[in-house]
Amino acid sequence: MPSKDSDHRNGPIIPPTRWYRSLAAAGLHNPAVHGPARHWLQVEGSFTRALQQQCRYRFHVEVCNEGFAVPTLEEARRLGLAPRQRAWIREVRLCGDSQPWVLARTVIPLACLEGKGRRLRNLGNKPLGAYLFSRPEWLRGPLETGLCQNTDDQQPQLARRSLFHRGNEALMVGEYLLPTLYQR
Ligand SMILES: C=C(O[C@@H]1C=C(C(=O)O)C=C[C@H]1O)C(=O)O
């Protein structure tokens, strides 16, 4: 059942995105990945942490949509899920000093919600990164680079995503950089 946050009218518009295995591969299609956003596309470790370090005053997470929903076909394929299999989907804005800097979309398959993973449904405004990076059983896979399609200059143009693995299970975190983050 969707949480009350899914009533939010101003949820992030996550643009359709083409994903590449590396920054260099994406750069062949859009050299903007080598510009000021490059640093953010390559941050290792917790992205939340890196954003917090850039804030003068305050970092916060705004939950826009959260609940059970059907992932896109591309997401289902990437996670090895059957098409139309529902998952817990969380969409948030990551804000620095009260400005939205990043939109994030996380797809959490049902298997990840079992056992201790139940907590993943109750994060609220606590950043997911704080959860994942404080638990050694979750390991991050390689970062992909995304080129967002059909966006205007207020919307994300560039993105990154990775799978986090716990044994045979995996969830997927996509982070879509808003120009306000890297054009400051
Ligand atoms: C995965 C991380 O978590 C961050 C927090 C998110 C959330 O709270 O939904 C989403 C994407 C991330 O950037 C991270 O910090 O690296």
Task: For 70-89, give the DSSP string.
Answer: PPPHHHHHHHTPPTT--EEE
User: What value does the mean pLDDT take over residues 108-112?
Assistant: 97
Mean pLDDT value of segment 148-173? 93
Is pLDDT above 50 for 60?
yes
- At 137, which CATH number? 3.40.1410.10
Please give the tally of structural domains in the chain: 1
Q: What backbone torsions phi and psi does residue 115 show, to the nearest 5 degrees?
A: 60, -135
For residue 3, tell me if it sits in a domain. no
Residue 149 burial by Cβ neighbours in a 10 Å radius (0-12, 13-18, 19+)? exposed
Substitution candidate for ligand 1 out of 128, 131, 160, 161 with most atoms within 8 A of CB: 128
pLDDT above 80 (res 4): no
Whether 13 is covered by a domain: the verdict is no
- The confidence score (pLDDT) of residue 11 equals 65
For residue 140, what pLDDT is reported? 96
Q: Residue 30 falls within a domain, yes or no?
A: yes
The answer to the question of residue 5 being in a domain is: no
Is there a domain that residue 10 lies in? no
Distances (CA, A) of 105 to 4, 20, 67, 156: 17, 17, 12, 13
Which is the closest atom of ligand 1 to the Cα of 49? 15
Ligand 1 pocket residue status of 72, Cβ below 6 Å? no
162 lines ligand 1 (CB under 6 A): no
Index of the ligand 1 atom closest to the CA of residue 63: 9
Containing domain of residue 135, as a range? 19-182
Beta strands in 43-98 (DSSP E): 59-69, 87-96
pLDDT in tens, 129-155: 999 999 999 999 999 999 999 778 889
Tell me if 104 CB under 6 Å of ligand 1.
yes
Reported as a pLDDT band with limits 50, 70 and 90, residue 16 is: very high
Res 9 pLDDT > 80? no
Structure tokens at 130: 């704080």
Please tell me the distance from the alpha carbon of residue 79 to that of residue 180, in angstroms, as a whole number.
30
Does the pLDDT of residue 2 top 50, yes or no?
A: no
Residues of the chain with pLDDT > 70, as a percent, come to 93
Beta strand 99-109 pairing with 158-166? unpaired
Measured in Å, residue 161 CA sits from the centre of ligand 1 at 10
Pull the structure tokens for residue 132. Answer: 């994942």
The verdict on residue 8 lying in a domain is no
Angle at Cα 49 formed by Cα 168 and Cα 102, nearest 5°?
A: 85
Say yes or no: CB of residue 161 within 6 Å of ligand 1: no
ipTM summary value? 0.92
pLDDT band at 10 (very low <50, low <70, confident <90, very high): low
Token pair recorded at residue 179: 């120009």
Residues 6+ positions from 76 with CB-CB distance below 8 Å: 82, 83, 84, 85
Mean pLDDT of 30-50: 96
- 12 — phi, psi (to 5°)? -70, 145
Structural domain contains residue 126: yes
Q: 40 — phi, psi (to 5°)?
A: -70, -30
Q: Which residue's alpha carbon is nearest to atom 4 within ligand 1?
A: 129
The pLDDT assigned to 151 comes to 77
Mean pLDDT of the chain: 92
Bigger pLDDT: 9 vs 55: 55
